[in-house]
Structure 1
């Protein structure tokens, strides 16, 4: 198989490529990588990719001609698309016609809804699945209205973007004003009830109307956490692989509402992020239309969603299409660091 991986400078595509090389059971795979940044590390990982290309960004007039040329040159069988701008471009293309090769993506309407956290929160606001929230622009003037909705402290973040963009626990009005001032690149924010509990994730794989696979985990610490005021960089350094069917069911409940709202077929891979309140009740904070960077850690633990997706796109008749929630040995944790392969172990074996 010849597989195209977009955005190879990012940690998530790198995790996916390494999963294919390390944990997938395929006879022969060629990986072709692309990125829009000429200094992206992944463009030069010759031991990982068979060939890489610098391409225009999604939305550029030459983007599709560049993609189509690469797909034709390398006889690409499927693409694993993860940068959100490219997810939007590919899902839009699928709405207008056909993608240039096989791809596992939700509808454009679902992608558009989930890329903007405020839109998703609005749809789910009466379900009890999301925290109380308030959306505002960076030039906020109605502080009293916000404060009447959410007492301090509350959590604030950008409505779009990854890696904890614009995230901070805000203690008072002056802190909020200062935060808006030092984040001029963020035009729209969402404030939500501050949730002090566990930071959780549920992964869901749907295919042609059917939920096939799920798994859950916990983010405990983050890589380079000290460089972010919130302590959240979006890249987990220490996490747990969990067996929590109740949490998975909450994610499924939310997805059912979102699929119905958008009129979309149940299709694609999603990562639903939860945060617990002081009583341990989980609330959804965002749902990604893609895998996230600790995908390889799940694969190492036996939940190989990358292989699942490739087998589905390859029409593998031996793939078991009965629903399965991946389960892990109790106490399983993973440790990650910059550009390093994750380590799995049991938490009881950590040095005290």
Structure 2
């Protein structure tokens, strides 16, 4: 029997790590054994014995005790690879990698471009001359309104963070004042041209600066959308798989442009988010340096990027880095909810109202 490779997974309380591990389990690949960690003792993944052979409560990544605890876990379980998924931890591992090296292998880019991608202001500034970046400006909470150069209506959100943090369509100055008061913990906002079109995502995998896998989807509805004023929670409940190679070309150009400015090479997974403008032209709104929660939905549809992510690093002799763009049968959709396994089906099979039984 082949010995399994021990893989550390961080942030196992979130939906994205669960989606990652589910993708590997669904693939029937039996090469990997997962050890999970999280900083929240209530994280559900810490108690998921079906997915993880062992789990640990660890300090937050900005705690001075974090690396000591992680190193002990890596030594105890002979961890060969770490899947680092919360963005705060991706940044911490990236910085540690550049500064003094990592306690085990991880698929992460250099620190400076990674930090720039996480900060939406830096991302926009680095790509401001590109046609696929909408007009924007940044401003501090409770700032002078005259400093806001984007015309109403515009889309506003925090410059750092995900899950739709601080996001809302702002129609006038009064709405902006009220929104900033409601969100006092957000120090800086970014206002950008309001884009009314489709919400698209392009997932791309890179190794040593070269793209080797990609897949695209459209976000249509969100888990618990009613609790967010914007209707966007960052966790998709209904989406379409799409075959748009044009999105990949834009994503690749953006990532190459950013990394070239730092004289660095991209490594790992990036999720490039787009929103279409009034003319239907896709514009980049952010680039995540991690997988997102519907990764297992893509995997069910045939685009198992988590497995590609592991195999490219841990089984390189039997894995091709030749570029592959995953395509899907027309009409492929996915449905997700908080406590349910995602469902992939064809949109034509969605139920319609049967008036004969009304």
TM range (shorter): over 0.9
Q: Which residue pairs with 2:147 in the alignment?
A: 145
CA distance in 2, matches of 1:208, 1:304: 20
* Corresponding position: 1:187 with 2:187: yes
Q: Which residue pairs with 1:20 in the alignment?
A: 24
Matches within 5 A, 1:301-316: 301-316=301-316
Say what the alpha-carbon RMSD is for the aligned residues. 1.0
On the 8 A contact 1:106/1:269 being kept in 2, the answer is no
Q: Which residue pairs with 1:115 in the alignment?
A: 118
Q: Which residue pairs with 2:356 in the alignment?
A: none
Matches within 5 A, 1:1-352: 1-23=5-27, 25-141=28-144, 143-146=145-148, 149-352=149-352
Question: TM-score scaled by structure 1?
Answer: 0.97
CA distance in 1, matches of 2:318, 2:104: 22
- Give a deviation string over 1:126-152, Cα, whole Å, max 9, x none: 1111110010111212x1231xx2121
On the 8 A contact 2:221/2:236 being kept in 1, the answer is yes
* Stretches (4+) displaced over 2 A: 25-29
CA distance in 2, matches of 1:18, 1:254: 30
Moved more, 41-50 or 196-205: 41-50
On the 8 A contact 1:200/1:217 being kept in 2, the answer is yes
Q: How many residues align?
A: 348
Q: CA deviation at 1:86?
A: 0.8
On the 8 A contact 1:225/1:231 being kept in 2, the answer is yes
SS in 1 for 2:247: helix
CA distance in 2, matches of 1:279, 1:68: 51
Runs of 5+ in structure 1 lacking a partner?
Answer: none
Q: CA deviation at 1:262?
A: 1.6
- Give a deviation string over 1:308-337, Cα, whole Å, max 9, x none: 111112143121111111111111000000
Q: CA deviation at 1:233?
A: 0.2
CA distance in 1, matches of 2:164, 2:318: 39
